[in-house]
């Protein structure tokens, strides 16, 4: 089922809130995980269960402090017959949810995936200054940014994002290539999604060409920007000398790992006893080169993290936002993960049925590896 | 470096390559003593972190030996090692590091000759390449 729904009084955000209210009242969902304004007017995420409280929900809020897949990972490790939670998430968040489902960290059972278009977001930190006191900020964002590919104030991950429409969803709520003052695009891709749309007034139709073209144009512009950014990155990062310089300020705080939605181990290998050395051991290692950088093994941490996570990386860039010494991780991980995933014709979060590249193999592939 | 001798860290699968190394030894085949063997249960059990740690701490090369494809004692461990190697090489290339210092080879328990030849070849290869940049670089 796909088509458009009417937007009342030029307020798409309120229209989506209206859908939320309906779903909660009808008991189709017991709660909805949605972006919301924090007490300080910045971005947070709320699990709303009472339709009366929906005023706090801001489904189109264009700021991101955390990739909400991390939250889903916390709350939905197991399903329950007593809960049906709608996840109202951005494309990169849904992609991470899909990866975590494949990694058996999230149970699909109690969840309905509702994906919203996203032309890009601001960092949550400082967002209150961007938004000011403008109550209509979210709707303006949807109106003005949907066809605009090059907002340099967006988060770095967003500036290079080519997936403004969700890849996997039960229900897609869209506005790119539409006139969001009058109508929104809705598309159910499963029975769960169809159930949500039942009872709503939908003008059934195929996806308008204007929407397809707008999405393609946005992706093309972002791909071009990504190529330019990677070209600059290569000048600053390629090779052992520059790579070590690139990570020279690393504090070993492991924030990039902690905020990463797809970094799923309950205890990181790098926080384990394997990396605890006593003082004699430190001296012994230091003697090898005459000196050891402290904190030690930061380069090992980053290179290993790449090896462990790049096939599931959804390129949300939340790692860069969380880095206290502003290491340019978003562009670096964009490049490394794109290259790594293309080796296996894989795209993270594209398809729930596509196996993770490292849990499968074919006998007649990569025949040169190991032979020469 | 005047007296440069390549230092190789080797991860040898218990069922094939380690036994191949054993055969090379018991058959009194000569090969350079530059590799430090570490016996692992399967080439599929070697996480990239161990390869990277060896390289960053100054090893000139890392050698990984496993059973021939189709012969894995655990059925598919070496196929997975092969995929992981593809990933490893891709990442090394993306950041401009030299993946030519990391060799994966299939050597069976019967191939003592192949084992001795491969280690000789790798040692000579690394001798030509010269020492790894991370041998001196302490800021990693």
A275 close contact with B: CB closer than 8 A: no
Of residues A292, A307, A371, nearest to B138 (C-beta):
A292
Task: Report the percentage of chain A scoring pLDDT > 70.
Answer: 99
Q: Distance between CA A224 and CA A221 in Å, rounded?
A: 5
Model pLDDT, residue B1: 59
Q: pLDDT band for position A208 (50/70/90)? A: very high
State pLDDT tens for residues B2-60. 689 999 999 999 999 999 999 999 999 999 999 999 999 999 999 999 999 999 999 99
Look over chain A and give the mean of its residue pLDDT values, rounded to a whole number.
95
State pLDDT tens for residues B60-108. 999 999 999 999 999 999 999 999 999 999 999 999 999 999 999 999 9
Cβ within 8 Å of residue A101, ≥6 positions away: A107, A108, A352
Q: pLDDT band for position A207 (50/70/90)? A: very high
Cβ within 8 Å, pair A303-B91: yes
pTM: 0.95
More confident: A42 or B75:
B75
Cβ within 8 Å, pair B140-A371: no
Q: Distance between CA A316 and CA A67 in Å, rounded?
A: 8
Model pLDDT, residue B23: 98
Q: Distance between CA B76 and CA B42 in Å, rounded?
A: 10
Q: DSSP letter for A355, please.
A: P
Q: Distance between CA A255 and CA A244 in Å, rounded?
A: 19
Greatest CA span in chain A, whole angstroms?
A: 74
B36 close contact with A: CB closer than 8 A: no
Which of helix, strand or coil describes residue B49?
helix
HSE, CB side, 13 Å, CA atoms: give it for residue A40.
Answer: 10
Q: Please report how the helices B48-56 and A298-309 are oriented relative to each other, as an axis angle in degrees rounded to 10.
A: 150
- What's the mean pLDDT in A45-67? 95
Beta strands per DSSP E along A158-296: 171-174, 183-188, 203-204
CB atoms within 10 A of CB B109: 19
Whether A262 and A319 have beta carbons less than 8 Å apart is answered as no
- Distance to chain A for B130, nearest Cα, Å: 15
Model pLDDT, residue B3: 87
Q: Does A150 score more than 90 pLDDT?
A: no
Q: pLDDT band for position A319 (50/70/90)? A: very high
Cβ within 8 Å of residue A96, ≥6 positions away: A67, A69, A70, A261, A262, A314, A316, A348, A349
CB atoms within 10 A of CB A329: 24
* DSSP track, A203-228: EE-PPPHHHHHHHHHHHHHHHHHHHH
Closest chain A CA to residue B67 = A370
State pLDDT tens for residues A123-143. 998 898 998 888 899 999 998
């Amino acid at each position: 089922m796909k088509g458009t729904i009417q937007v009342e009084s030029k307020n798409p955000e309120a229209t989506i809130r209206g859908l939320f209210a309906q779903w909660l009242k009808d008991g189709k969902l017991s709660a909805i995980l949605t972006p919301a304004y924090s007490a300080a007017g910045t971005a947070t995420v709320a699990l709303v269960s009472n339709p009366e409280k929906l005023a706090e929900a801001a489904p189109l809020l264009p700021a991101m402090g955390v990739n909400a897949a991390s939250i889903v990972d916390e709350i939905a490790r197991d399903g329950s017959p007593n809960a049906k939670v709608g996840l109202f998430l951005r494309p990169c968040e849904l992609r991470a949810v899909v990866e975590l489902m494949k990694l058996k960290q999230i149970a699909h059972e109690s969840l309905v995936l509702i994906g919203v278009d996203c032309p890009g977001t601001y960092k949550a930190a400082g967002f209150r200054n961007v938004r000011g006191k403008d109550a209509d900020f979210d709707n303006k964002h949807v109106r003005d940014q949907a066809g605009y590919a090059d907002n340099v104030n967006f988060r770095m991950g967003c500036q290079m994002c080519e997936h403004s429409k969700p890849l996997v969803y039960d229900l897609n709520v869209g506005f790119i290539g539409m006139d969001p003052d009058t109508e929104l695009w809705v598309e159910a891709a499963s029975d769960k999604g169809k159930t949500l749309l039942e009872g709503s007034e939908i003008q059934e139709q195929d996806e308008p060409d204007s929407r397809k073209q707008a999405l393609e144009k946005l992706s093309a512009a972002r791909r071009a920007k990504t190529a330019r950014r990677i070209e600059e990155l290569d000048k600053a990062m390629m090779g052992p000398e520059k790579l070590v310089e690139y990570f020279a300020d690393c504090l070993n705080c492991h924030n990039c790992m902690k905020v990463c939605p797809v970094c799923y181990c309950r205890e990181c290998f790098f926080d384990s006893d394997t990396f605890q050395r006593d003082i004699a051991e430190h001296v012994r290692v230091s003697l090898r080169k005459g000196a050891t950088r402290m904190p030690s093994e930061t380069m090992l941490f980053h290179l290993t993290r790449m090896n462990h996570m790049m096939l599931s990386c959804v390129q949300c860039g939340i790692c860069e936002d969380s880095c206290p010494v502003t290491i340019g991780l978003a562009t670096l991980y964009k490049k490394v993960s794109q290259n790594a995933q293309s080796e296996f014709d894989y795209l993270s979060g594209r398809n729930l049925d596509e196996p993770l590249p490292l849990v499968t193999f074919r006998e007649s592939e990569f025949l040169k590896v190991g032979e020469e | 470096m005047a007296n440069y001798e390549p230092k190789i860290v080797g991860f040898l699968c218990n069922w094939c390559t380690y036994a191949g190394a054993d055969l090379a030894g018991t058959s009194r085949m000569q090969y350079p003593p530059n590799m430090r063997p570490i016996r692992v249960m399967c080439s599929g059990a070697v996480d990239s972190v161990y390869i990277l740690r060896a390289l960053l701490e100054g090893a000139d090369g890392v050698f990984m030996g496993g059973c021939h494809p189709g012969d894995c004692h655990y059925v598919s461990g070496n196929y997975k090692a092969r995929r992981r190697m593809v990933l490893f090489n891709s990442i090394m290339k993306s950041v401009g590091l030299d993946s030519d210092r990391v060799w994966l080879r299939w050597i069976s328990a019967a191939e003592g000759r192949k084992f001795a030849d491969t280690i000789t070849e790798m040692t000579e290869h690394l001798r030509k390449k010269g020492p790894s940049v991370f041998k001196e670089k302490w800021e990693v």
